[in-house]
């Protein structure tokens, strides 16, 4: 967990100058699959 949070934080901080210049946004996406695995049904 620590690695995932630190990586997102550090990369976000590095991206701030470019995001300010381009008026960009950061979109964080996550999945519940890491906490509760889903069985894959193959057809």
The number of beta carbons lying within 10 Å of the beta carbon of residue 25 is 6
pTM for the complete prediction?
A: 0.54
H or E segment to which residue 19 belongs: helix 2-22
What residues contact residue 30 under an 8 Å CB cut-off, 6+ apart?
none
2 pLDDT band (50/70/90 cuts)? low
To the nearest 10°, the Cα dihedral for 9, 15, 17, 19? -110
Q: Where do we find the tokens 């995001």?
A: 19
Q: What is the pLDDT of residue 22?
A: 95
Q: Where are the domains of the chain?
A: 2-34
Q: What is the pLDDT of residues 6-35, one digit of tens each?
A: 888 899 999 999 999 999 998 877 777 767
């Amino acid at each position: 967990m620590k690695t995932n949070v630190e990586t997102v934080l550090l990369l976000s901080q590095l991206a701030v100058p470019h995001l300010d210049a381009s008026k960009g946004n950061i979109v964080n996406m996550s999945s519940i699959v890491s906490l509760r695995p889903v069985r894959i049904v193959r057809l």
